Structure 1
Amino acid sequence: MLLAIDAGNTNVVFALVDGERIAARWRIATDPRRTADEYAVWLSQLLSLEGFDHKSVSAVIIATVVPRALHNLQVLASKYFRTEALIAGRPPVEWGVAIDVDEPASLGADRAVNTIAAHALYEGDLIVIDFGTATTFDLSDYSGAYKGGIIAPGINLSLDALVSAAAKLPRIAIEAPATDSVIGRNTVDQMNIGIYWGYIGMIEGLVARMKAEVGRPVKVIATGGLATLFEQHTNVFDAIEPDLTIQGLAMMWRRAHM
């Protein structure tokens, strides 16, 4: 089976892929200092709990936006799974799509992988919204070429900044408000309304501007852990694909072995 690893700024996601099926997934906080041995102890326990043997992993592919984390993940693959990890964007798993922006090398691996996966699943011009540490909006055209996008602070990052800068504001959980009213009657409700409806306003406004600039029909695909949180109060999403990055990594690995 394939072990697909998506190393983001906040979490590293490990997913066990069996054919086209994601058999299991786990996440751990990103820490570039974490050694291959530490990953191996943690991962072997989780594999066992899910009924898998570490010997069932025959291949590893990695996408990372944290360069310092890459070496230890590569050592994990070679030392404990006896395989050389493939790195998304490097031979033999190049992107395979045009990166039509001013600085192609600066594009985050996760965003390129999301573009590849989205176009394998949907036709036409696409906007992929990824709710991660940052909230990113990525536009690709009908040919699959990446055309550019938007980077906005992630919702958790925005909330952390608000709480840390205002002494009297409490830390709250991010959730959909209990009512559709945007006039809060207490501090917690007002914060929840501001962060939740504020984000929906940002999402809808930016998507509308991107669509107007493209001038053709565009599908909007959402991914990331918080995508489903907004689905009930906006119709901006055409589809939600929670595992889009992992799906893209699996597609790239299969393409390299065809």
Structure 2
Amino acid sequence: MSKNDSSNSKKTLFLDIGNSSIKVAYWENGEWQKTKDSFKSVTYLISWLNNHIDLINNLIVASVRKDHFKLLQSQVTDLDIQSITIDNIDPEVLDYDTPKTLGIDRFLVCLGAYQRNKGNVVVVDAGSACTIDMMDENRIYRGGVIMPGLQSILNIFKQTAPELPDIEVEFPGRWPGKSTSESLQWGQVAFFIDGIESALNRFKQLNGEFDLFMTGGDAHKLSNLISEKSIQDEFLIFKGMKAFIDA
């Protein structure tokens, strides 16, 4: 999407404002598209939106940062902005003891996956944090796991043990580790993967079979490391947002 866009129709933009990243997408000609610009800060996003105001019809926003959303709302005043928050979700579809603290992104990625398969789904959203969440065949969000993301785990020794070597993001080939790199791979990569697979097995024991979806910045890496077959979809949260507003 740019000022040279040949389309005459204004677009509805879907904004996913996370803790460490901002993603923007739109639905056009039956498929999802991402904007060519990358947004490193909410201030840059605000500037970009105001510079492209003639191409935008309205904004649909899912934000886990209340401060960022308030800033957006106060400085983008010429567009209709619809925010999807956890307060908008029917409590009957949330099997969660503390819904006020549930990140709306966790619910929406599950809803996006559910819209595709209409059965039990588990979503691994692998970003700066990694979440593993389930929605069942009745569209009930069942909760899940929040753990450090892969890059957070890989960076854990950068400050405290800087002499340790960097490692390849791969599952070590032998047990136990016979080098410092292999030992780190067991303690970081394998530790991370084992944690995810343990959560998947627990979901399976409790709720039966499910379709596994991967999204987030490290989804491709994870799909090659996890034994469970998965579906990669970078647009899951946007699909969930659209499903929610279209309902």
1:4 aligns to what? 14
SS state at 1:168 partner: coil
Deviations 1:202-228 (A, max 9, x none): 2112211221122x2222111111111
Q: Which runs of 5+ in 2 are unaligned?
A: 1-10
Change (3 A) 1:233 1:133: closer
Q: Distance in 2 between matches of 1:173 and 1:95?
A: 42
Distance of 2:118 and 2:184 partners within structure 1: 39
**Would you say the 8 A contact 2:59–2:82 is kept in 1?**
yes
Tell me: CA distance 1:88–1:148, structure 2 relative to 1, closer, same or farther (3 Å).
Answer: same
Of 159, 170, 179 in structure 2, the residue corresponding to residue 176 of structure 1 is 170
CA distance in 2 between partners of 1:233 and 1:183 (Å): 18
Q: 1:142 to 1:60 in 2, by over 3 A?
A: same
CA contact (8 A) 1:5 1:60 kept: yes
Q: What's the RMSD between the two structures over aligned residues? A: 2.7
The CA distance in 1 between the partners of 2:86 and 2:62, in whole Å, is 10
CA contact (8 A) 1:176 1:230 kept: no
Matched with 1:222 is: 214
The aligned counterpart of 1:208 is 201
Change (3 A) 1:192 1:95: same
Cα pair distance change 1:180/1:118, threshold 3 Å: same
**1:101-132 C-alpha deviation (Å, 9 max, x unpaired):** 11122110101111221111112212111112
Deviation at 1:98, TM superposition (A): 0.9
Distance 1:41 1:173, change over 3 A: farther
Q: Structure 1 residues 12, 118: closer, same or farther in 2, change over 3 A?
A: same
Q: TM-score, normalised by structure 2?
A: 0.82
Which residue identity is paired with 2:21?
A: N
Tell me the alpha carbon deviations over residues 20-54 of structure 1, each in whole angstroms, 9 at most, x when there is no partner.
42222344335xxx54xx43434577xxxxxxx54
Q: Is the 1:222–1:237 contact (alpha carbons within 8 Å) kept by the matching residues of 2?
A: no
Kindly state the Cα deviation for residue 188 of structure 1 after the two structures are TM-superposed: 4.4
In percent, how many aligned pairs have the same letter?
Answer: 23
Taking a change above 3 Å as real, the CA distance of residues 19 and 116 of structure 1, as seen in their structure-2 partners, is: farther
Aligned to 1:49: none
Per the TM alignment, residue 142 of structure 1 is displaced from its structure 2 partner at its CA by 0.7
1:122–1:9 Cα change, 3 Å: same
User: Structure 2 counterpart of 1:114, which letter?
Assistant: V
Query: Where does 1:85-234 land on structure 2 (aligned, <5 Å)?
Result: 85-89=81-85, 94-95=88-89, 98-170=93-165, 172=166, 175-176=169-170, 180-181=173-174, 186-188=179-181, 190-192=183-185, 194-214=187-207, 216-234=208-226
Partner of 2:155: helix, strand, or coil? helix
Partner of 1:69: 68
Check if 1:235 corresponds to 2:227: yes
Pairwise mapping of residues 9-20 of structure 1 onto structure 2 (< 5 A)? 9-18=19-28, 20=30
Assess if the C-alpha contact under 8 Å between 2:167 and 2:181 holds in 1: no
The Cα of 1:194 is off from its aligned counterpart by 3.6
TM-score relative to the length of structure 1 = 0.79
Q: Secondary structure at the match of 2:156?
A: helix
Answer yes or no: is the 8 Å Cα contact 1:74–1:84 preserved in 2: no
Going from structure 1 to structure 2, the CA distance change for 1:113 and 1:173 (only over 3 Å counts) comes to farther
Q: Is the 8 A contact 1:11 1:27 kept in 2?
A: no
> Shift of residue 19 of structure 1?
5.5
Q: Which residue of 2 aligns with 1:249?
A: 241
Question: How many matched pairs?
Answer: 235
Report SS of the residue matched to 1:29: coil
SS of the residue 1:5 aligns to: strand
Contact 1:20 1:250 in 2 (8 A): no
Partner residue of 1:39?
A: 45
243-252 or 5-14, larger mean C-alpha shift: 243-252
> Cα distance 1:202–1:60, how it changes in 2: closer, same or farther (>3 A)?
same
